[in-house]
Amino acid sequence: MTEKTRKIIAREFLIFIVALIIGFLIIFGTLCYNFILQIKEKNIQQTINEKGKLADSLAKSYNIKTFKDKDYISRVYSALNDIGENSNNFKSEDTFRKIILNDSVYQKSVYHLLQNKIEGFTKSFMEFTNSLKIQLTQDDINKKVQSRAIETEINKLTQKGINLQNSYLNTKEKIKISLYIFLLTILFLFPLRYLVYATNWSIKTLKK
């Protein structure tokens, strides 16, 4: 084997090694890509947990005082309307609220009415009157609004986390990308060497 042939083989082998190294670097890059996604997902989950605790804390008082966004007086008012015992007495819930809170005689009449007309109504009169006193405040409502806004943010973050999970590269995708880059590098480097040879030859020729 002549010296020239050995040099040609060495150059071809070197080009192959460079392409192989690039392929391995791409595999390492995909590992780093997945690792970065994992960190982002972890941070998102931590933020979701923190915001979830804050939302629960803000909404706690509102949730204790309500059922399906209605406090106890509103539910009693709706129940009386449903059984047709209130529609002719009060035009508004606010009027009903003021009277039932301040008129003990009316409280008793409403209590006995619910006992007789509402199936499953088992509260004692004391439980009934105590429930009437647990009313929503404007602060409760404001905090619930804040809680719902935070829940909307949590939903967006959750979807972002799902999108990150879908962006992970599995082993098959990593190998596919690395092989593609490896072959592309070979196809690029091998013809490129002729351009280098031709350029060097042209420079040498012009110098002569």
pLDDT digits (tens, 9 = 90+) for 96-106: 888 899 989 99
**CA 87, CA 77: separation in Å to the nearest integer?**
9
Structure tokens at 89: 């007495």
Specify the higher pLDDT residue, 59 or 187: 59
Contact 73, 96 (CB under 8 A): yes
**CA 181, CA 185: separation in Å to the nearest integer?**
6
Residue at 195: amino acid letter:
L
The pTM assigned to this predicted structure is 0.68
**CA 192, CA 19: separation in Å to the nearest integer?**
13
Number of domains in the chain: 1
Q: What is the pLDDT of residue 127?
A: 92
Q: What is the pLDDT of residue 24?
A: 79
Q: What is the pLDDT of residue 140?
A: 93
Query: 120: phi > 0 → left, psi -120 to 50 → alpha, else beta; which?
Result: left
Q: What is the pLDDT of residue 181?
A: 75
Specify the higher pLDDT residue, 38 or 170: 38
- Cβ-in-10-Å burial (0-12, 13-18, 19+) of 147 comes to buried
Tell me what the mean pLDDT of segment 136-156 comes to: 94
Q: For residue 24, what are the domain limits?
A: 3-207
Considering only CA atoms, which of 48, 40, 46 is closest in space to residue 168? 40
Going from the C-alpha of 26 to that of each of 34, 35, 172, the distances in angstroms are 12, 14, 14
Contact 83, 154 (CB under 8 A): no
pLDDT band at 68; cut points 50, 70, 90: confident
**CA 147, CA 176: separation in Å to the nearest integer?**
46
Does residue 11 carry a pLDDT above 80?
no
Going from the C-alpha of 172 to that of each of 27, 130, 177, 206, the distances in angstroms are 11, 65, 9, 51
